Structure 1
Amino acid sequence: MASTAAAAAAAAAPVVMVTNDDGIDAPGLRFLVDQLVAQGRYRVLVCAPDTDRSGVSHCITWRSALRCKRVNINGATAFGVSGTPADCASLGISGKLFDGLVPDLVLSGINIGNNCGLHVVYSGTVAGAREAFIYGIPALAMSYNWVAGQSSVNDLKVAAEVCIPLINAVMVEIKSGTYPKGSFLNIDVPSDAAHHKGYKITKQGKYMARIGWEQTVYQKPSVESYQTASMDIDGEKDRDIDTSSANDLLFKRVIVKRSYDEEEGEDMDYKSLADGYITVTPLVALSRAEADVIPYYKACLSRI
């Protein structure tokens, strides 16, 4: 009887699915899953890329079949998938991969490197959450503001820990039927996660690590990919690239500068993150133009 009751309780537990863009072996994802399992209140699923897919935005795989391989993660049912974060979110919520089980909540992360401001456009982490949201599943994207030469893998563990109260609160709202369906959340944890100033609702700003190009020669990566998973981390090494032709010109991306509009206000995501807050930014899937440009374009069309 006891085992039957335990099985029934497990089946009734809220279902959380974790994905990311750093890959299923990334420590940010593993620490998050460990924390969720330790809670003892969730049924935990994992559907994440089998390799690092950072910076792929909302790219999807259309023509090729996805290869899914079961991965051993203690306390969770997990698959590594030969696709993008959006692919993984889509497959994971479809009911096809997990024997009809559809998650109550999708978590994407924890990413290495912030996803504030315009970085949201490039982020595979945000895309994983956005894909779930598009199909009606509540979702959170979570990132840690990694600083090269200062941050450590243990900081990712702390970042996972400080996100758990927010995850629990969101699940309570979902189960009570009071959670809003019009947005998903983009969460960024400050570099000093252990001494954060609390959660703060913020707006997406215009922060951006501006990218330029430099000509280079082939150099095999010398650090783990999960340590260079963000476009906003200094010292990123060259990725493995094809050097079959000696006549090829090789170019790499480099960070030219970081910029944001300081007049945006105190409630913008990057400024609040830099001030030490865990930023919680509601996002939607649509990219609408500012309302004040509509009359201009109407006038332009009227003259054609």
Structure 2
Amino acid sequence: MHILLTNDDGVFAPGLRALRKELQRLGEVTVIAPAMEQSGVGHSITLLTPLVVKQVDEDDGTTLGWMVEGSPADSVKLAICELMPRPPDLIVSGINAGSNAGINVLYSGTVAAAIEGAFFKITSVAVSLELAEHFDYPHAARHATRVIERILAHKPPNGSLFNVNLPAHSRGEPKGVRVVPMGIGRYGEGFERRQDPRGRTYYWMTYNPPFHLEGPETDVTSLCDGYITVTPLHFDLTRYDLIPEVGGWDWNGAPVPTPPSKNP
């Protein structure tokens, strides 16, 4: 099996190196990842500037892979279309430094790389490790690879897409694996207002990850409970349930009047 490994933390990230070592038990691993950290870029692609690609070597002179001066989605697209002799059998993105659970899935470059793989009808898995003071990537990589092995053992259809989150090592050994939906609640967000030395106001986004949440079982709550979470995803955002209703609206009628403004 040929595996494409990518991420959004950059080709030199320790999470990628740890996962590569474990994935080599499953097959040949090719690394093609962004040159620099691309956290929070979502599914952006580069249109107006060239994509520079450079080979990356290990200390012993062997080839690690390629780094792309672009986004995670750029890296996967370029890998499949240009850099690899044939499409990979599996695409893995990670290990990300910090979870990509709940609404953060929509911002994540890690998940976007996996989505790009699914665009090409290749089974793709995003892997993230909950934020902590100290990351134990080798430990997380072993757990992640076992989860990926179980996914592959069930022979999912081509283009299947999975989002895997691992609890921080500080929570103890994972209690197990839960297959759960993506949470849609917002939590722990805000901005800190500051002033620079010249007196100009600026804002720095703050983020307080949850340690425990109540409510319906989701990837966020299960991660807080110490479980590895697996969420099957798809990139079709269509609200199929609303198509009959919206399709029945009068699209040729008079324009709906704009309500008056409440501001004086």
Q: Normalising TM by the smaller chain, what interval?
A: 0.7 to 0.9
**Matching residue's letter, 1:283:** L
8 Å contact kept, 2:55–2:63: no
Of 174, 177, 190 in structure 1, the residue corresponding to residue 167 of structure 2 is 190
Matched, 1:51 2:36: yes
Of 4, 9, 21 in structure 2, the residue corresponding to residue 34 of structure 1 is 21
By how many angstroms is 1:258 displaced? 6.0
Partners in 2 of 1:287 and 1:28 — Cα distance?
A: 30
Deviations 1:228-256 (A, max 9, x none): xxxxxxxxxxxxxxxxxx68643322237
5+ long unaligned stretches in structure 2? 255-264
- Provide the residue aligned with 2:146 in structure 1: 165
Partners in 1 of 2:243 and 2:226 — Cα distance?
A: 35
By how many angstroms is 1:275 displaced? 1.1
TM-score by length of 1: 0.73
Match of 2:77, SS state, is: helix
Partners in 2 of 1:204 and 1:300 — Cα distance?
A: 35
Of 211, 226, 240 in structure 2, the residue corresponding to residue 276 of structure 1 is 226
**Matching residue's letter, 2:79:** G
Match of 1:143, SS state, is: strand
Partners in 2 of 1:247 and 1:79 — Cα distance?
A: 43
Deviations 1:202-252 (A, max 9, x none): 111114345333333459xxxxxxxxxxxxxxxxxxxxxxxxxx6864332
109-118 or 289-298, larger mean C-alpha shift: 289-298
**Matching residue's letter, 1:185:** F
Partners in 2 of 1:165 and 1:20 — Cα distance?
A: 19
Of 202, 211, 231 in structure 2, the residue corresponding to residue 250 of structure 1 is 202
Partners in 1 of 2:99 and 2:143 — Cα distance?
A: 15
Structure in which a larger fraction of residues adopt helix: 1
Match of 1:118, SS state, is: helix
Structure 1 260/275 Cα, relative in aligned 2: closer, same or farther at 3 Å? closer
**Matching residue's letter, 2:16:** L
Partners in 2 of 1:145 and 1:303 — Cα distance?
A: 51
**Matching residue's letter, 1:23:** G
5+ long unaligned stretches in structure 1? 1-13, 220-245
204-213 or 75-84, larger mean C-alpha shift: 204-213
RMSD (CA atoms): 2.9
By how many angstroms is 1:291 displaced? 2.6
TM-score by length of 2: 0.83
Of 97, 104, 111 in structure 1, the residue corresponding to residue 83 of structure 2 is 97
**Matching residue's letter, 1:198:** G
Partners in 2 of 1:102 and 1:89 — Cα distance?
A: 10
* % identical equivalent positions: 33
